[in-house]
Amino acid sequence: AVKAPASVFAEGWLKRVYEEKPAKEVRTRFPPEPNGFLHIGHCKAIAVNFGFAKHHNGICFLRYDDTNPEKEEEKYFTSILDIIKWLGFEPFQITYSSDSFDRLYELAEELIRKDGAYVCHCSREEVNRQRGGPDNRGKRYACEHRTRPIDESITEFRAMRDGKYQAGEAYLRMKQSLTDENEGNPQMWDLPAYRVVEKNHHHRTGDRWRIYPTYDFTHCLCDAFEGITHSMCTTEFQQSRISYDWLLEQLDMKTPKSEERGPMQREYGRLNVGGTILSKRRILMLVEGATAEKKNADGTIEKKVIPPSVRGWDDPRLYTLVALRRRGIPAQALLKFVEELGVTDALTEIQPPRLESSIRKHLERTVPRQMLILEPIKVVIEDATPEDEQELTVPYDPKGTITGERTVKVGKEVYIDRADFREEDDPEYRRLAPNKVVGLYNVPFPIKAASFSKDETGRVTEVRAVKAAWTNEKTKTHIQWVDVATGIHVTARQYNSLFKSESPNTLDWKTGGWADDLNPESEITYEHAVIEKGLRDLIKQHTLNPSGSSDDLVRFQALRVAYFCVDVDSTKDKIVLNQIVSLREDKGK
């Protein structure tokens, strides 16, 4: 028997992280900034943090890292929790960094009293010079504020709190190793701990605070407050581990040079998806449109107004998690894919086809089949008898992986896809053409086209056919069809990549050049598609027996077309379908 692959948590990098700190009760956290929608990369962070806790029978917090009031909005909070639940996880507790503002403030004063922080009034440029200049290589030096009396820093810190200073006029800086020549890590060069924020209204604490703690000050302390054992983040924080530990040690929340007491930070590699845009700022330009300014050689400025390129943050062409959900990607398939990519400290870069092929394999085994016609042409089977017009019972999956069956009605008039008919036959061609025989899935007799008619623009409007017999057993071909009388008219949307370029991140995002690279065929809408009546039963079964999971969508394989799901835009009168993935890698995309 084939052994099931060990879980990503039971071996390799994540196993070693556990062994470095084999805590009795594992406590982790997923700490998003509520300043945007989560993207596919965050799915890895969720899988790692929630999964690690689950694997070790521990707990995982959802902590909104809401220390930047300028960028946060309510809708992001709701959506983040929604997505975590969609992926099948339940936070042990939902916390907010802002819940700890009082405690953080107290600790900041304690740090000052321990001579571990000082209030500095230098400009940003001056601080940069103190830190060795733009390349961090120059001689580092301290300013006069660094040695000011502790009491003075306390007074000034309170003055910052009480509104004496405008943004940029005062900072609380940690007194780390700025002047130590042997300290090569810039994270130890007196980082800011608190700053004055101009637009300071906070969605939870209102107008109480004018000063806000920085990430470097907040994150490790909130980890300690929540008793986090394993604080896992992405590798761009590797350099920050030293300041993370430093602050905890200063405040006696961690034993120096030991992982025995206090939280332990470890860093894994990000998951990046190429061929698409993940940056919040750039997605916003796609969602809201943008005004780009281009400076000409003569100094004049050209304004270019770019309309929105997608319908919203959940547009199925994006790689936000709300978009992938709407597109119909099953949560379990996405999680499994992310876990299969593995977790180490190396960056994982993938292209969309790799994700799609994994999703396709999952759908192949889990969803029923349906017949869908994107661009219908009517075929009249002239010699069909009343006996031929029967209800056929056909399985949901001819291979039998998915159980169940449906009925399809054979009528005298059926729709086939325009792409399956040719006015002139060709020996290589295997589908319907005058005098050519083709099979209709599950129908006991093949048909042969006899004649066809066209409208004034030359478009074929109707094909007349007769029942036939196979002339060549070897070249038998079957196509999908839908009964005209009982078929359901639907809108079907197919998706291709949003950009023509395979690396849209390298496009010109400053002066609006990216807009020229948008793929005009990124969404193809078929307003007059037709699907077999069985779709209504799938929808009904689904409503009658909801799975109880938050990943509740009607999905199916449209034979010879693609995988689809029923979109949330659907109404009682009009069903809208989204293509999840194509049937094969080369077709569509």
Q: Which of 15, 85, 280, 282 is catalytic?
A: 280
- Asked if 537 interacts with ligand ATP (CB under 6 A), we say no
Residue 284 has which token pair?
């916003």
Beta carbon of residue 455, minimum distance to ligand ATP (angstroms, whole number): 51
Nearer to Mg ion, 130 or 240 (CB): 240
Nearer to ligand ATP, 234 or 351 (CB): 234
- Asked if 33 interacts with ligand ATP (CB under 6 A), we say yes
Name the residue with the smallest CB distance to Mg ion: 33
Q: What residues does 376 pair with on adjacent strands?
A: 417
Beta carbon of residue 39, minimum distance to ligand ATP (angstroms, whole number): 6
Nearer to ligand ATP, 218 or 250 (CB): 218
Name the residue with the smallest CB distance to ligand ATP: 41
Beta carbon of residue 71, minimum distance to Mg ion (angstroms, whole number): 9
33 is catalytic: yes
Give me the DSSP letters along 214-230. Answer: -HHHHHHHHHHHTT-SE
Residue 356 has which token pair?
């799609």
- Asked if 31 interacts with ligand ATP (CB under 6 A), we say yes
Beta carbon of residue 38, minimum distance to Mg ion (angstroms, whole number): 11
Only segment of 28-36, 216-224, 286-294, 325-333 that touches ligand ATP (CB under 6 A) = 28-36
384 binds, among ligand ATP, Mg ion, none (CB under 5 to 8 A by kind): none
Tokens 């004018």 locate to 210
Only segment of 35-43, 167-175, 191-199, 255-263 that touches ligand ATP (CB under 6 A) = 35-43
Nearer to ligand ATP, 213 or 446 (CB): 213
Q: Which of 15, 33, 294, 422 is catalytic?
A: 33
53 binds, among Mg ion, ligand ATP, none (CB under 5 to 8 A by kind): none
Nearer to ligand ATP, 350 or 466 (CB): 350
Pairing of β 117-120 and β 93-96: unpaired
Nearer to ligand ATP, 179 or 234 (CB): 234
- Asked if 87 interacts with ligand ATP (CB under 6 A), we say no
Interface map 260-289 toward ligand ATP (x if CB under 6 A): ----------xxx-----x-x---------
Q: Smallest Cα–Cα separation from 575: which of 544, 530, 521?
A: 530
270 is catalytic: yes
Beta carbon of residue 236, minimum distance to Mg ion (angstroms, whole number): 9
Eight-class DSSP state of 381: E
Interface map 33-52 toward Mg ion (x if CB under 5 A): x-------------------
41 binds, among Mg ion, ligand ATP, none (CB under 5 to 8 A by kind): ligand ATP
Other C-beta atoms closer than 10 Å to the C-beta of 95 total 19
Pairing of β 575-582 and β 562-566: antiparallel
CB 327 within 8 A of CB 51: no
Q: Which of 27, 63, 140, 270 is catalytic?
A: 270
431 is catalytic: no
Only segment of 31-39, 292-300, 441-449, 515-523 that touches ligand ATP (CB under 6 A) = 31-39
Query: How many Å apart are CA 407 and CA 414, to the nearest integer?
Result: 15
Q: Rule CB under 5 A: which of 366-425 touch Mg ion?
A: none
Interface map 206-245 toward ligand ATP (x if CB under 6 A): ---------------------------xx-----------
Give me the DSSP letters along 537-584. Answer: HHHHHHHHS--SSS----EEEETTTEEEEE-TT--SS-EEEEEEEESS
310 binds, among Mg ion, ligand ATP, none (CB under 5 to 8 A by kind): none
Spell out the residues 6+ positions from residue 100 whose beta carbon is closer than 8 angstroms to its own: 218, 221, 222, 225
Only segment of 30-38, 196-204, 329-337, 382-390 that touches ligand ATP (CB under 6 A) = 30-38
- Asked if 45 interacts with ligand ATP (CB under 6 A), we say yes
Beta carbon of residue 207, minimum distance to ligand ATP (angstroms, whole number): 25
Nearer to ligand ATP, 273 or 433 (CB): 273
Q: Smallest Cα–Cα separation from 38: which of 245, 256, 322, 277?
A: 322
Nearer to Mg ion, 214 or 570 (CB): 214
Query: How many Å apart are CA 459 and CA 465, to the nearest integer?
Result: 18
Element counts in the chain: helices (H) and strands (E): 13, 29
CB 196 within 8 A of CB 166: yes
Phi/psi of residue 384, nearest 5 degrees:
-65, 135
107 binds, among Mg ion, ligand ATP, none (CB under 5 to 8 A by kind): none
Q: What residues does 434 pair with on adjacent strands?
A: 449
Pairing of β 230-234 and β 264-268: parallel
Q: Where are the beta strands (DSSP E) in 208-336?
A: 211-213, 230-234, 264-268, 271-273, 290-295, 301-306
Nearer to ligand ATP, 32 or 328 (CB): 32
Beta carbon of residue 201, minimum distance to ligand ATP (angstroms, whole number): 21
What angle (nearest 5°) sits at the alpha carbon of residue 191, between those of residues 188 and 193? Answer: 135
Instruction: Give the full edge-to-edge strand order of the sheet including 369-370.
Output: 369-370, 555-558, 562-566, 575-582, 488-495, 523-531, 372-373
Beta carbon of residue 40, minimum distance to Mg ion (angstroms, whole number): 15
Query: Helix, strand or coil for residue 473?
Result: helix
Residue in 13, 41, 342, 467 binding ligand ATP, rule: CB under 6 A: 41
CA distances to 56, 86, 114, 325, 549 from 321, rounded to whole Å, are 26, 10, 45, 6, 17
Interface map 16-35 toward Mg ion (x if CB under 5 A): -----------------x--
Other C-beta atoms closer than 10 Å to the C-beta of 462 total 14
Annotate 529-548 with b (16+ C-beta within 10 A) or e (fewer).
bbbbbbbeebeeeeeeeeee
Nearer to Mg ion, 33 or 364 (CB): 33
By CB under 6 A, name the binding residues for ligand ATP.
31-33, 36, 41-42, 44-45, 233-234, 270-272, 278, 280
Residues assigned a catalytic role: 33, 270, 280
By CB under 5 A, name the binding residues for Mg ion.
33
